Structure formats: C-alpha cells, structure tokens
Structure 1
Amino acid sequence: MTASESKLKAPTGILGFPVTPMEQDGSLNEKALEANIRFLLDNGLSAIFIGCGSGEFHAVSPSEYRTMVEIALSAAKGSVPVYTGVGGNLSHALELAKLSEELGADGYLILPPYLIEPEQEGLYQYLNAIIRSTSLNAIVYQRDNCVLTLPTLQRLLESPQLVGFKDGLGNMEMNIEFTQTIGDRLGWLNGMPMAEVTMPAYVNLGFRSYSSAISNYIPHISKLFYDALLQQNQALVNELYLQVILPISRIRRQRKGYAVSLIKAGMEIIGLPVGTAVRPPLIPVEKEHYRQLEQILKTAFDRFPVSR
C-alpha cells in the first residue's frame, strides 16, 4: 500500500517501528535513524510508525519529534504510509496530531493517556478529541490504561478518520467480540509484545497487520514467519518459533524496558549504526543477555539465510 492509497484505510502486513538512535552524549543520531528507516523500507515493510513506543515516545523532545517525523517522511517518499505516535496528556497529543498533519504524515497511532485510569466516558472524550482534531487516519492502541468496551469503540466509529484498532492487551474474548461485531470497518493490528508469538491466534480473527520489533534487525525472519503462517506451513512456523522467536521472547521478558533496548542490541549485533544507548528510565541490555541474543541471531542467519 502506498501513501496515496492509504486514506481511510489502515496499513496491512508487517509494520515497521523504528527506534530512536542516540549519540554518546544522548542526543538524537539523525543519520542512524535514517539508516534504520531505509533498512525497513528496503526489506519490504508495509508502513513506518515513527516516534511510538519503540521510538521512546516518552523521552523525546518536541524538536526531536519534529525532526524524526521529517526524516521518516523524507526517507519513505510516499512509498509507504508514515504514521506518528501521539498521546500522553491531551494538550500534548493534540499538538503532535496537528504537527503530524502539518508535516504530511498519513496518520497517527494514539498511545494511552498519561497516568490517569479513566472511566469509559473519559476515554471516549480523550480519543474522540484526538481523532477529530485532524483529517489524518487514526489508530487506537488498546493497552495499559486505555482499555475500551465495545460500546465505546462503536461510538468512536462515528468518525471516519478512525481506521484501525491495535491490540496490546491480549484479551481474546474481547477481540472476538470486537472483530465479529465491527468487521472490516476497522483494520485490526496485533500490537502484543513480540507479536509473532501471538499472531497465529490473531490472524484467525481477521488481524492482518502486526508491529514487529525483530524486523528492525531480522526482517527476513518476520517475513518468512508471516508468509509461513498465512500459507499454513506449520513445520516452518514451528521451526522459526523454536530456533528464533521464542528464544528472543524469553530474553525480552527478563527485564522491563527490553522492549526497546533489546531491539537496539539486535541492530548493533547485525551492524546497523544505531548504538545501544537508551534514555532513562529504560536500561540497556545486560552483557549476558546481549551474548545470548548474539547466539540466537547467528542461528537465525545460519539456518534461515537472507535471500539475495
């Protein structure tokens, strides 16, 4: 799907979520960010989501955010949709939504509100204000303190800008209720941690997109896995699980914050110029976990070489 084809339609396939590379002094490494995005594009990912959770949305400044969006749009050049992350407190979210529209993004992923655990009416007012603030596509991210009921989600559907629902909660009973009731009015995105782990359960419900953390460093594994899943090649799915996906997932669960820092470690291991620095309160990957990841990636490239 090109950017021009993406109006009022959520992207499908494997979605790219770049990290935010840091210099040694903690500043944004713009060249490394561009390299990260071009790597994702060169490897066929279907959309770029810039400045979201894996991009350390919580820790970037307004000027860095603008620069990151500009770099993503320049690198994509309309070849795939570019979405931004917006969220936190409402005023900030509205500012970022307007900036995204001004810069020419295709849409935004609405991250949970800051700190508050709201009632459904409060969630509706928060999400509705952001969705309606621009003409851009909006995707709601269900996780943490943003958990919707079916009636709330149905109210939000009154806005045509709402094109997608990303689930990071994992309540399958709720997902069945949503997908069977709402159908293809929304695009359904799997946003669970290490989404490859849960994608077999999601794909049968109509989820045709997922955010892949490992695509930042082994995109050929993401593609191999998703193609095998859709083609019902269970033997290959199982092999990829046992040799690559589940071992990485086990490391990821060892420390809070590895959702971001483990991606950077993987990118450094394969030679991408990103570095492993993260901003507090995140922590870098510990040496033993880094060594374990090196061994898993060696296995990944040995057993499943990149096609040329």
Structure 2
Amino acid sequence: MSSVRKAPTGILGFPVAPFRTDGNLDEAALVKNIQFLLDEGLESIFIACGSGEFHSLTKQEYELMVEIAVSVTAGKVPVYTGVGGNLTQALEYARFSEEKGADGYLILPPYLIEGEQEGLVSYLKTIIESTSLNAIVYQRDNAILTLPSLQQLLALPQLVGLKDGHGNMEMNVQFTQTIGERLGWLNGMPMAEVTMPAYVSLGFNSYSSAISNYIPHISRMFYDALLSNNKELVRELYQHVILPINDIRKQKKGYAVSLIKAGMEIVGLPVGSTVRSPIIPVEKEHYQQLESILIAAFNRYPKVGQGVLS
C-alpha cells in the first residue's frame, strides 16, 4: 500500500471478471489478465470496477479478486478497488481494501437513489473518511457533483482524483480550471479513447482503456501520438481501429463489458465470454465484425514479438 497522495496517471488497467461456463470466477484467468496488463506497461490496476462486473459479484468473489490483484501486482503499480452501492457495503469493501493492502479505491455511484448534493457529499465523505486509502470519485449516472460540492470534499487529504464518466465539458472546464492540480483528472467515458483529445487539453492525464485488455499496444500508440501531437497517427488509429470498435460497442447495452471479453478471446487471452445478467454476450455478427477489425489492426500495426492473430 502506497502513502503517496496522488492519483494514477497514464493508461489505467481495468481487468474483467472472468467466469467459467459454470458461472464461477476463474481465478487463473484473472491472474493472466492482470499479469498481461502489467507486462504491457499499464500504470495501474483497477480491480472489481465496472469492467469487472462489480454489480454482480458476491462478497466472496469481490474479496478474492482484490486479493489476487494485490498479490499479482506485488507493489509494481498502484491497485485501486471498486467500492460503491449501498453505504454499508461500500464501507465494508473500503475497509477490506485497506486491510488487504490496496492503494486506494474508485467510488462508484450509490445504489439507485439520486440524492440531493448534500446527501451525495455525505455519502462520499463517509466512505473517504473511513480509511486512510486514496479515493477517486467517479462522476457519472446518479452521482454528479457540482463544483461547490466537490470543493467541500477537497478538505479530505484522501481524495486524490475525479474520474469523469458524465461528459459535461463545461463542467469539466469549471472543475479543472478552478481546482487545478489539487486533484488528478481521469477520463472515464465509455471507450475513453474516443473523447481523450478533448480531455487532454483540460489537464486530464489518464484514462481507463477497455481496449488495453486485448490491444494494449494500440492503446499505447494512440496515447503517445496524442501527447506528441501526432495528428496524422491519431486520425489513422481512429479510422481503422477505435471508431469501428466503438461503433460495435454502441450496438447493445452492456457491450462496454462483454465486448472486452470478446476481444480478449479473439486475441487468445483465456477469460471466456461468459457474462452475468443483465449484461448479454456479444452477438455472433458483432463478434465477427470485431474479429475482422482486430485482424486488420494487427496486420496494420503489428505487435513486436507476439504472434497473436497471425
């Protein structure tokens, strides 16, 4: 566990929750998923969050995923866990994360209820104060803070970042230009590569990359091109990889998760395609479309030393 009060930067790794065909968690596949992300140089691991089907995990599965992530990373990169839902569960998961040596947690929206700002601040403050771990607030769905509400939370040293999955750019300008470097700014929009050019100019220096689970070398190529202002390469990657995958992702609700598993299966990473309701597996037509995109992507942008899809 790190005592550094700073949010992770760069490309953030979000492992999936691999399930066997019997529906149980596949521990070996999770280890391989995390190790793959580490080998590819991702700067942090966020375990049991949205991509990890937080909503569907039992307490035992959640604890096992956290233990595996902390063990496999072995201090190489920060480990953040997902906490959220009802307040009692969120506090329990936050304390467990601290006990097991995580570096921090991403606070997901509270269950169902859309409260007033006062109630949302109280929810977040209670969780953040419950441990000494770093905390990142996830701005999305029924958890949308105003600037005054976010400023109230700045008194808590544990708060190190805000991850935006809401996409209100006027609000993001207001946040970043008022608060500045007191917080780390993370892009958490669905398929964040699509919106990252707009976020970089505001001071967002990290993002959660779904495609890094199966084509991390392209995610890295895109981010490096973006930071170096290589507009030609950014446009090329949009045209041939990012936007075509995003077009598939938008076809069905829940593809933000199941399409990751499909991509991993296509490139030979053994996590299976099983997802839990209400998420549905990727339909055959869309699976084949993704496969064609990935084959073309590996041909156009080969990965040195790896024969996946060859």
Give the TM-score category using the shorter length: over 0.9
CA drift of 1:245 comes to 0.1
Structure 2 residue 143 is matched with structure 1 residue 135: no
For residue 151 of structure 2, what is the aligned residue in structure 1?
154
The answer on 1:178 being equivalent to 2:159 is no
Q: Which residue of 1 aligns with 2:24?
A: 27
Once the two structures are superposed, what CA deviation does each residue of 1:38-62 show, in whole Å capped at 9, x if it has no partner? 0000000000000000000000100
TM-aligned CA deviation for residue 307 of structure 1: 2.7
Which residue matches 1:78? 75
Give the 5 Å matches for 1:155-234. Answer: 155-234=152-231
Q: Deviations over 1:121-175 (max 9, x none)?
A: 0000000000000000000000000000000000000100000000000000000
Paired amino acid for 1:291: Q
Percent of aligned positions that are identical = 73
Give the Cα separation in 1 of the matches to 2:172 and 2:227.
20
Q: Does 1:291 align with 2:301?
A: no
Distance 1:306 1:185 in 2: 37
Shift of 1:7: 1.6
Tell me the distance in 1 between the aligned counterparts of 2:45 and 2:247.
Answer: 26
* Residue 227 of structure 2 is aligned to residue 241 of structure 1: no
Work out the number of aligned pairs and report it.
305
Give the corresponding residue for 1:256: 253
| Secondary structure in structure 1 of the residue aligned to 2:106 | strand
Give the match's secondary structure for 1:53: coil
- Aligned residue for 2:195, secondary structure, equals helix
Moved over 2 A (4+): none
- Are positions 1:87 and 2:84 aligned together? yes
The whole-number CA distance in structure 2 between the counterparts of 1:20 and 1:150 is 34
Deviation string for 1:93-139 (max 9, x for gaps)? 00000000000000000000000011000000000000000000000
Q: Distance in 1 between matches of 2:155 and 2:73?
A: 31
Report the residue type matching 1:300 in the other structure: A
Using the alignment, how far apart are the partners of 2:271 and 2:126 within structure 1? 36
C-alpha distance in 1 between matches for 2:251 and 2:75 = 38
Cα distance in 2 for residues equivalent to 1:282 and 1:253: 14
Distance in structure 2 (CA, Å) of the matches to 1:33 and 1:57: 14
**Per-residue Cα deviation, 1:1-26 (whole angstroms, up to 9, x for no partner):** xx64x621000000000000001100
User: Counterparts of 1:175 and 1:299 in 2: how far apart (Å)?
Assistant: 35
Q: Work out the CA distance in 1 between the residues paired with 2:128 and 2:297.
A: 41
Query: Which residues of structure 2 form unaligned runs of 5+?
Result: 306-310
Q: CA deviation at 1:299?
A: 1.0
| CA distances 1:245-272 after superposition (whole Å, capped 9, x unpaired) | 0000000000000000000000000000
**Deviation string for 1:158-198 (max 9, x for gaps)?**
10000000000000000000000000000000000000000
The one-letter amino acid paired with 2:96 is L
Are 2:46 and 1:54 aligned?
Answer: no
Q: Deviations over 1:50-94 (max 9, x none)?
A: 000000000010011111011101110100000000000000000
State how far apart, in whole Å, the 1-side matches of 2:4 and 2:88 are.
Answer: 25
Pairing 1:122–2:119 present: yes
Per the normalisation by structure 2, the TM-score is 0.98
SS of structure 2 residue aligned to 1:299:
helix
Residue of structure 2 in register with 1:269 after alignment: 266
CA RMSD of the aligned region, Å?
A: 0.7
